[in-house]
Amino acid sequence: MIERSYKHYSVKPGTIYLRGGDPNFATPAHIRDAAINAIIEGYTHYAPSAGIPELREAIANYYSKYGIKYDPEQVMVTSGGSPALHMINVAMLDPGDEVLVFDPSFSRYFGEPPTMGASVVPVPLSKTGFHLDADDLNDRVTKKSKMIVLCNPNNPTGTVYTKDELRAISDIAIDNDIMVVSDEFYSEFVYDDKDHLSISAMEGMSERTFVLVGGTKMFNFTGWRLASLIIPKKYYKVVEKKTKYIGVRPATFIQRAGTEAFNAMSTKYGQAVMKEHRDEYDRRRTFFCKRMDKIDGIECHTFDGAFYAYPDVTSFGIPVSKFVDDLEREEGVLVGNGEGHGGVSVIGNKSIAYGHIRPALVQDVDVLEDAADRIERFTKNLSK
């Protein structure tokens, strides 16, 4: 039985919050207990700057499920995924570099590189099913291409990349000596007969792939601020040197709890807890995506991974920002603006993300049902 938790600062009473990727699940009890015990036992001192050794080892061990044995010394513990992405950008990008980003994908990938003087080159995911056509990537590679950023499973489209797609990306990366950032935050949330594969496990890729390993979403500790980065050996020292003063490490007792969380993934208990969460997300997506798709004027695919729906509301002919604001004001349903997850100038002068909202399925099915009813009423009023 999954425990719920509703102490969420962004949620206003009377509204339905589907905006951020912050599930209404409590952090599992065995992880909470580990944090409390760590405080009681005195794990209250500074942690080593790359993270406590037992957590780095637990993450390297967890990753061996993909058939790669990383050295714990390649793992850097971070205060969540956002600092991890920031650290890669600070350490690896120079002014003038180009970063290839699949479009749509997580908003931060589009915003960060320009802060380093690098530019983002959006690579459109085909409109059918948001998968990759390798030519679309190949055609955008130049001598300045430094990095490909991949979110697998993808936020916001839920795409789970196939082996062929990952092979195609790997071939392009190897042929053109480009590094890859593989953000695998949602790797545990993959449905039906889909498998999550890691690009770092493909031949020739572990030495050029930075992997973002979850924490935040996997174990429902969004507010705990714990994630990690696996760094290719040859780049480790550069990352260490260039991010030395960023100081974004989680508290020592949080890292002890993280150790419990990752170690439990090799036990039946930890696997059962994860399955319970995956099954619940599966119920939510099966209900909500089908329900959205039935609303006149909305097209909504049933996603394969992560926990975001990505309905297309273009047909209503109003800007998505207005759709989102009016929906909040009139019906009290808060959804994300899916356009924030897109690049620009991909199809004509429009991003492929154009016209999408992004409800995060972070509430129970009965609440999602209520949200869907309200969205339907809202769209009927729009069509009048």
Q: Is 302 exposed, middle or buried (0-12, 13-18, 19+ CB in 10 A)?
A: middle
Give the residue with the Cβ less far from ligand PLP, 74 or 79. Answer: 79
Q: How many residues bind ligand PLP (CB under 6 A)?
A: 12
Cis status of the peptide bond prior to 83, with omega within 30 of 0: no
Q: How many CA atoms lie within 13 A of 102 on its CB side?
A: 32
Contact with ligand PLP (CB under 6 A) among 145, 155, 243, 259: 155
Contact with ligand PLP (CB under 6 A) among 15, 37, 49, 82: 82
Please report how the helices 365-383 and 320-331 are oriented relative to each other, as an axis angle in degrees rounded to 10.
110
Contact with ligand PLP (CB under 6 A) among 75, 227, 274, 353: 227
For 317, the token pair is 């002919």
Nearest-5° angle of CA 242, CA 230, CA 92?
Answer: 35
Q: Please report where in the chains the tokens 């992560």 appear, as a residue.
A: 306
Contact with ligand PLP (CB under 6 A) among 21, 23, 250, 336: 21
In whole angstroms, how close is the CB of 341 to ligand PLP at the nearest point? 9
In whole angstroms, how close is the CB of 308 to ligand PLP at the nearest point? 8
In whole angstroms, how close is the CB of 184 to ligand PLP at the nearest point? 8
Give the residue with the Cβ less far from ligand PLP, 79 or 259. Answer: 79
Residue 340 binding ligand PLP, by CB under 6 A: no
Residue 106 binding ligand PLP, by CB under 6 A: yes
For 69, the token pair is 């044995």
For 362, the token pair is 């972070």
In whole angstroms, how close is the CB of 132 to ligand PLP at the nearest point? 17
Chain positions 239 to 278 lying near ligand PLP, rule: CB under 6 A, are none
Give the residue with the Cβ less far from ligand PLP, 105 or 263. Answer: 105
In whole angstroms, how close is the CB of 146 to ligand PLP at the nearest point? 20
Residue 187 binding ligand PLP, by CB under 6 A: no
Question: Whole-angstrom Cα distance, residue 173 to residue 178?
Answer: 5
Residue 185 binding ligand PLP, by CB under 6 A: yes
b (16+ CB within 10 A) / e for 324-344: beebbeebbbbbbbbbbbbbe
Residue 107 binding ligand PLP, by CB under 6 A: no
Residue 151 binding ligand PLP, by CB under 6 A: yes
In whole angstroms, how close is the CB of 177 to ligand PLP at the nearest point? 25
Contact criterion met (CB below 8 Å) for 31 and 216:
no
Contact criterion met (CB below 8 Å) for 309 and 341:
no
Stretch that binds ligand PLP, among 74-82, 326-334, 336-344, 371-379 (CB under 6 A): 74-82
Give me the torsion for CA of 234, 212, 278, 60, rounded to 10°. 40
Residue 183 binding ligand PLP, by CB under 6 A: yes
Q: Is 2 exposed, middle or buried (0-12, 13-18, 19+ CB in 10 A)?
A: middle
Residue 17 binding ligand PLP, by CB under 6 A: no
Residue 81 binding ligand PLP, by CB under 6 A: yes
Residue 224 binding ligand PLP, by CB under 6 A: no
Residue 343 binding ligand PLP, by CB under 6 A: no
Stretch that binds ligand PLP, among 67-75, 79-87, 174-182, 309-317 (CB under 6 A): 79-87
Nearest-5° angle of CA 348, CA 352, CA 355?
Answer: 105
Please report how the helices 252-264 and 29-41 are oriented relative to each other, as an axis angle in degrees rounded to 10.
140
Contact residues for ligand PLP, defined by CB under 6 A: 21, 80-82, 106, 151, 155, 183, 185, 216, 222, 227
